[in-house]
Structure 1
Amino acid sequence: MNSLYLDLKSGISGDMFVAAMLDLGADQKLVESVLSSINLEGFSVAVSRVTKANLDMCDFKVKLTVDNHDSDMDYLFPQAHRHLDHEHHDEEHSHLHEHEHEHEHEHAHGHEHSHEHHHDHRNLKDVIAIINKSTASVNAKRLAEKIFTIIAKAEAKAHGKAIEDVHFHEVGALDSIADILAAAVCIDSLNIDKVYCSALAEGYGEINCCHGVLSIPVPAVCNILADNKIPMRQTDTFGELITPTGAAIVAALNPTFAPLPQCVMLKTGYGAGKRAYVKPSFVRAILFKADNKEESALYSNDEIIKIECNIDDSSGELLGYLAEKLQQAGAFDVSYTGVFMKKNRPAYELKVICAPDKLLSLSKIILNESTSIGLRYIPMKRIILKREIFDYESKLGQIKVKRCTLPDELGGNVFTYPEYESLKALAENRHLTLKETDAIIRGELYAKR
Structure 2
Amino acid sequence: MTSAPQVDKQDLATYAEAARTWLAVNGPEDHAVRDPHDVSIFHNLDTDTERAILGKLRAWQKAKFDAGYGAIAWPTELGGAGLPTSYADAFKSAEAAAVSLTRHELFSVTLNLVAPTVRLFGSQELKEEVFPGLHDGSQLACQLFSEPSAGSDLAAVRTRAVREGDSWIISGQKVWTSGAQFAEWGQALVRTDPSAAKHAGLTAFLVPMNSPGVEVRQIKQMSGGTSFNEVFLTEVRVPDSYRLGEPGEGWKVTRATLGFERANASNKKGVGGSFDQLVELAIRTGALGHRDIRTRLAELRAREIAAEVSLHREQRARDTGAPPGASGSMRKLQWVRKLNLVSELARDLLGSALIVDRGEPGTFSWNAHILGAPGYRIAGGSDQIQRNIVAERHLGLPAEPARPQESM
Place the TM-score, normalised by the shorter chain, in its bin.
under 0.3
**TM-score w.r.t. structure 2 length?**
0.21
Larger Rg: 1
TM-score (norm 1): 0.20
Q: For CA contacts below 8 A with separation 6 or more, give which structure has more relative contact order.
A: 1
